[in-house]
Structure formats: C-alpha cells, structure tokens
Structure 1
Amino acid sequence: MVCTGHFLNPHLPLEAFPGIHKFKGQILHSQEYKIPEGFQGKRILVIGLGNTGGDIAVELSRTAAQVLLSTRTGTWVLGRSADWGYPFNMMAIRRYYSFIAQVLPSRFLNWIQERKLNKRFNHEDYGLSITKGKTAKFIVNDELPNCILCGAITMKTSVMEFTETSAVFEDGTVEENIDVVIFTTGYTFSFPFFEEPLKSLCTKKIFLYKHVFPSNLERATLAIIGLLSLKGSILSGTELQARWATRVFKGLCKIPPSQKLMMEATEKEQLIKRGVIKDTSKDKLDYIAYMDDIAACIGTKPSIPLLFLKDPRLAWEVFFGPCTPYQYRLVGPGKWDGARNAILTQWDRTLKPLKTRIVPDSSKPASMSHYLKAWGAPVLLACSSTYL
C-alpha cells in the first residue's frame, strides 16, 4: 500500500507571477510556515484562498501589521457549526439529503445554497464571491469573515506583477512595502519510487480503478491509499479503501482484469481530450456515493430497505441521521456488534462535552428531535451534501 497522499511536493508557481524574482522581501510556501512568531508587525501577502490560505491569513492577522489575501476565483466560506450549533458534517452528510439532491434540479439547489450561505454574510460585500464562470469551491473557516469585517485581513484580486517592494493587482490597485509573500498554492503528488510506466500512470487518477488500484497491473498487488478528495472525511474513506485492498490482496474480493480496466480508462481519457466529457479527476467526490461504492465491493454497504423491515429504528437513524463510519460496520466482513448502539447514541457523545452547565428543569433533546428539526427545512439543507 502506498499512503503518501496528495501533499507531497509543494507547488510554487513563481513563473506565473512576473517580477517575483525582483521582489526583495521573504518568499515562502505554506509548507514552510509553522508558527506566527517572526511575522510581528509585518505586511504580509497570502496568495491562494483554500483552507490553508484562510487559516494562515487568520492566524497571522493577530500579530502582523496587515494581511492581504489574494484570490483568483473567490470561495464560499462554511462554518464548523451548522443550524442549532450542531457539527456541520453531522448535519450535512446524510443519506436523505443525497437522495433529495439527486431528485431536485442542480440549478435550484445552487440557488438555495447561495441564499443560505449569503444569509450568514454576503460574500460579495466581503470580496469573497465566486468569479463569474469559475467553478464554485468551499473552505471551512469560522474567523475569516470577522477578520475581514474588522480590517485585519484585506481581500485582493489576483496579482498581476511584483516590483521590488510591492504587488500590482489585476484591479489596478498597488500595495506598497510588502515584507512577506506566502504561497498557499497547493501541492503536486508523484511516485518517484516507481519505475515506468507505472510511475507516470499512477499520477493520472483516471487510471486508478476506484482511486485505488493501478489499471495496468496483471495482479492486484499494489494499492494507492488516500489519493482522493472527498466532500467529507478523508480518513473514513482511506480506512474503507484499506479494508478493501487487504481483501483484494487475500483473494477474497475480485477486481476486473487489467486489460478491461486499461481499455476503459484509455477510452475515457480520449473522450476528455476531445472535449466530449469533462475531466472530473480534480473534483471532490461525493462522500456517501464513494463510500457506498467501496463498501459494496467489500460487502459492507447497509441495505436501507432491508433495515426498515428488520430494524426500523436503526434504519431511521441510518437514512435520516449522520452518515458516520459506524454504518459500514453493521454487516459483512469486519462487522462490529457495537455498531448499532454506536449509531443510536452518536448524538449523546457529540453533545456530552457541551453539558458542563445544566440548567434546572431544562429538557434534554431526544435523538429523534434532531431529525424532526431537520425535516422542517429539507429543501434548504438538501444542497448541504455538496458543501464538503
């Protein structure tokens, strides 16, 4: 198993920024940034607005003289808590939301999504709205809007060029006396320990069967674990990948022959080159769809109709409640006897750390109430399954 993941080699696109070699200040990639000490009182330009760029900008805004945050495309900003203060991922990643998202038109869902996100704060007013024609993206950051609101962070367009001490932006504005430029421009992944043609093939996700097995191997003796982007927990996805890979290695699960996999991947690559279909290899995968796909290969995907017949209470929690990894321990290889109880009591464990001050005679919400509340606005939250 190769578990090196996405974040192997820093991507530092200096050639895309004219004049950067003239710049006399400090230049570093986010991989080199560790702590805010050493940046006190400085004017800092952060390039790139992903999760890393937002986190670094917020942290430095507490000590730096000024933080400028440059973005080409903008982003939607999500908080870690959702409605009623519950954890966002537990509220958003649910099977019945995914079902609704498949039924309703995507344009309608996007409209609902934008209204809901702008209700927290207007992204256009904060300089965060998505550039027209660009694909929508999301980051998770609770403090960024407040930092922009109080002036600790200033949003900027993309950088057009650098001088020795300043940056010129696409909107024509110039920021002088910049001390530090931090590139939060992501990473590239590679497999330098492989020989060709495997080395080049594995860098193309299209040639990885279900993002795990290289298509050109006659025997499935190699698995790439964690080289995926999910709209949910990557750790849960990698665990399921590893469970599948070990069973394939042992011969307990089969995958299609390499000739078939290579033919299908090659045909898809040609269609992408000709513009017939879109290249989605860099897009985040739907969490529940991908987890269910791998679980079906193992034999651990829960059957909702069967659950409603055998155990209606559990079925209700599985379909309407958070899609947590316990669901893939209910049946099949690796079945855990405690999975049912873990699912039925997951909200108790979630809220337990918050119960440090109990108000006399206050009613404790039952687990069912969380789902009854959610039913009150199913359409408004249907698009939440696409947030992460």
Structure 2
Amino acid sequence: MTRRVAVIGGGSSGLACIKCCLDEGLEPVCYESSDDFGGLWRFKENPEPDRASIYHSVIINTSKEMMCFSDFPIPGHFPNFMHNSLIMDYFRMYADNFQLTKYIRFNTKVLQVKQRSDFSHSGQWDVETENKDGKKEKHIFDAVMICIGHHCHPNMPLHDFPGIDTFKGKYFHSRDYKTPEEWRNKKAVVIGIGNSGIDIAVELSRVTKQVTGFPFHSWPQVVTVTENKASLYKYVFPPELARPTLAIIGLVQPLGAIMPISEMQARWATRVFKGCIKLPSVASMLKDIQCKEETMAKRYVTSHRHTIQVDYVRYMDEIAKMVGVLPNFLRLLLTDPRVGLNVIFGPCTPYQYRLRGPGKWAGAREAILTQWERVAQPMQTRPCDEPQCKRSYAWLLMISAAVMGLAAYINRNSLPSFLQDPAALLDKIKAYWPAQ
C-alpha cells in the first residue's frame, strides 16, 4: 500500500516536498490555507493574519543559480537576483512542469496534528483540517512534513523604546510596509538595519525629507540615508527621537522552533519515510542540534532570527551524504574532468546533488556546464549576429615562433631545410589551405 504523506504549507518548501514524495513513490496531500501557493513570496496589498508579508519592491538576495530547485534551473533570461513576482513565476513553472498543483488542497487549514493511539505500532498521524466553508475533517497519514515557514508574526519590542506610549506619530512593523508613497515629505526612523531595514531606508529616501536608521542591538551607530546615499555616524540615542513621524521595527518573530524544509531536507525525509535511510538515535540528533545552535550563538547576537541559521554548503553536504548524492570529487575528476573542475572550483549550485545516487537527473551535467551562461544572459544588452567563421592561423604562428626560438639556441644549419625559413613554410601551407 502506498504511504500517504501530509504536507502542511504550499510555499517553496511545500512544493519541493510534494515533488520529492512523488519521486519516491509516496502519495502527498498538501494543505494550503490560502487560495494559492508561493508562501512568503506571494505579494499581497494587505497583510493577512498568521502569514508572512513582503513589500512591493522585495528582490531576493540569493542568486538564481544558488536558489533554484536542483532539477529545474531558473530560465537564463531571468535576472540573477529576482523580483518577488519573478520568483512566483518560477514557482508556477516548476509546479506546472511536474504537475504539483493537483496535490494541493487550497483554502484548507490544518487545525491539529497528533500521533494516533497506536502510533508506537503504526507510526501514523491524525490530521484535522478545516476548509473555507468551516467544514472539518480528520485524516490518517503515515508521515507529516511541516512547511509553514517561520516569518509569520511581527516582533514589536515596544518596551525597549521609552516614550513610545506618548509618541504622536505612526509606528509599525516592516511586515505592514508596502510602498513608500504615503510617507512623502515626512521624516522617518528605521529601527533595525538588516536586509529589510536597509531596503526600506533606501526606498523611503526617494520620497522623504530624511531617513535615519538605528541598528536595534547597537544604539550608538546611526545610518542616515539621503538621496539614496547612506552614511554611518556615531550618535547618542536622545529623547528627541520621539519627534519623527514614522518608526519601523525591522524584526521578525519566528513561529515556534520549526525549521523550514529545503529541497535537500525533503529528499532526505522522503527516503526516511520509505525506510531507505535509518534515523539516528534521538540522543545523537539532539546533540547535533545543540552543537549547531551553539555554533550560531557564537557568531550572531542573541536574536530570534538566527535560531535556525546553518552554514549552507556544509549543511547541504551533510544531508547529501546521508541521502547518497554527495558528489565523488575524485571520481568526477577522473571520469569527467570538465564537470569535476566546475564542481570543485565553481559555485556550490544545487545541480551537483543530482549527478549520482537516488534522484539522479540526466540534465545535471548540462546544467552545471551552462550555469555561467545563465548568469551572463540577463546582463547582455541585445542579440548580435553570429560572426562569420574564419580559418585561424594562430596555431601556425605559435609553431613558427617556437621554431624560431629553438633556432636561437641550436645551430641553425643543423635544422631540416623546410624549418630554416618558418615564414616561407607558413606561406606554402596557406597556399594549400586558403582562408574560408
């Protein structure tokens, strides 16, 4: 009997999980509470409760070759750093290509997930859902994949801002920011100089009188942005900060401690569901989690946003080894040197995890060899006519130069007569091999 898998959430992770379940012969059912997939990357004019929200101008800060699904390259003509609308276009291409949409139950919330009474024997789960009409249903699944993301609830630490209760201006979280127009000719303060903070500060600088940015964990530093230019100053946080008309708190509270499932994690999980990979012991898994958390704690300040941070390449290789798809670098160099050199000295693009093992993709080699072409394609200004093919004599000139250099070290008279005059030899060869 085919094992049924509940996939909760239809964002990028949810789509990857559906695809990986199908690859492994599992039966996925994805529950998405909204009317479309895409998760974080679906722009909405108005923020929705319990759902991530982005502003209109968001552009991803990961290159298309690093963020794509491992067996579906992003089109070459797409920009290397894509606007959120293009990311959604890519997701639709991916879903259409692998026919994933038919496995998604839209407008359906998951109310509860719990182990069945016979879980120790069956390993099954009870999943309760509710559709948009309020109808509730209970389902039985052999496995559950949580793909709800973690950028859902804004973190508004108002207790950290004395005088905020008497502030007469407007303040809100960046989750509620959409466009800069309503802030034209006003003064703005941006609290938090992370990705969103810098984005919004620069965008507001086009319409406001002045934008001042404060790193949330380091008050003495201030970034002032005027006419899209940023300057860093030393500053003492004064009581007068309550005068600006806008404050944006650029922090996000993760929802619980659930890690979003990447495509590689989905491939690993579905192999576990099939019994092809055995889970480590609970003790070893907890120890590994603690080790990673301690490593991240040493690198970052105390913050909710880095609780699930990992080193990308090291983490991908770790999971790839478990799945059995980690590239064998020595074998690649011996059997396919061109690909081997690209994998070892090039970027760690996802295609390399499709070269061998479960889920091997025939197009992985070509995707690796053409990745730089796709990077260059969107930067080309216009198509040009192909140059006419002309016969090149560069190699003959190189031979002639080598012969002439050799003649400088040995007795010229000892060379064969046809080598004593390289220029005349070249003329004779050209006479028999006219340029095309």
Q: TM-score range by the shorter chain?
A: 0.5 to 0.7
Describe the SS at the equivalent of 1:290.
helix
Q: CA deviation at 1:23?
A: 0.8
1:341-380 matches, cutoff 5 A: 341-357=366-382
Distance 2:350 2:344 in 1: 13
Task: Select 1:54's aligned residue among 195, 198, 221.
Answer: 198
Judge conservation of contact 2:170–2:246 (CA < 8 Å) in 1: yes
Pick closer, same or farther for the CA change 1:158–1:346 going to 2, 3 Å.
same
Q: CA RMSD in A?
A: 3.5
Pick closer, same or farther for the CA change 1:159–1:294 going to 2, 3 Å.
farther
The sequence identity of aligned pairs, in percent, is: 42
Q: TM-score, normalised by structure 2?
A: 0.48
Query: What's the counterpart of residue 187 of structure 1?
Result: 253
Pick closer, same or farther for the CA change 1:289–1:15 going to 2, 3 Å.
same
Q: Deviations over 1:269-289 (max 9, x none)?
A: 9x96xx9x9587748422211
Query: What's the counterpart of residue 260 of structure 2?
Result: 226
Pick closer, same or farther for the CA change 1:21–1:11 going to 2, 3 Å.
same
The answer as to 2:99 corresponding to 1:33 is no
Pick closer, same or farther for the CA change 1:180–1:55 going to 2, 3 Å.
same
Query: What's the counterpart of residue 289 of structure 1?
Result: 314
Judge conservation of contact 1:46–1:69 (CA < 8 Å) in 2: yes
Describe the SS at the equivalent of 1:38.
helix
| Higher RCO (CA < 8 A, seq sep 6+) | 1
Describe the SS at the equivalent of 2:147.
coil
Q: Deviations over 1:340-359 (max 9, x none)?
A: 01111111222123223468
1:56-135 matches, cutoff 5 A: 56-72=200-216
Pick closer, same or farther for the CA change 1:157–1:62 going to 2, 3 Å.
same
Pick closer, same or farther for the CA change 1:45–1:278 going to 2, 3 Å.
closer
Pick closer, same or farther for the CA change 1:151–1:289 going to 2, 3 Å.
closer
Q: Deviations over 1:237-290 (max 9, x none)?
A: x1111111111122111111225434x369869x96xx9x95877484222111
The answer as to 2:278 corresponding to 1:254 is yes
Judge conservation of contact 2:210–2:226 (CA < 8 Å) in 1: no
Task: Select 1:2's aligned residue among 133, 140, 146.
Answer: 146
Task: Select 1:24's aligned residue among 168, 173, 193.
Answer: 168
Q: TM-score, normalised by structure 1?
A: 0.53
Which amino acid is 1:324 matched to? T
Name structure 1 gaps, 5 residues minimum: 75-125, 129-146, 168-175, 191-202, 204-223, 228-237, 363-388
Q: Which moved more, 1:149-158 or 1:320-329?
A: 149-158
Which amino acid is 1:242 matched to? A
1:185-334 matches, cutoff 5 A: 185-190=251-256, 203=257, 225-226=259-260, 238-262=262-286, 264=287, 278=298, 282=307, 284-334=309-359
Query: What's the counterpart of residue 118 of structure 2?
Result: none
Pick closer, same or farther for the CA change 1:149–1:267 going to 2, 3 Å.
closer
Distance 2:246 2:290 in 1: 46
Name structure 2 gaps, 5 residues minimum: 1-144, 301-305, 388-436
Q: Deviations over 1:134-169 (max 9, x none)?
A: xxxxxxxxxxxxx8475765656687465xxx31xx
**How many residue pairs were aligned?**
236
Describe the SS at the equivalent of 1:245.
helix
Judge conservation of contact 2:152–2:253 (CA < 8 Å) in 1: yes
Distance 2:151 2:236 in 1: 24
Q: Deviations over 1:175-212 (max 9, x none)?
A: x741111110232322xxxxxxxxxxxx3xxxxxxxxx
Distance 1:267 1:226 in 2: 18
Distance 2:364 2:376 in 1: 19
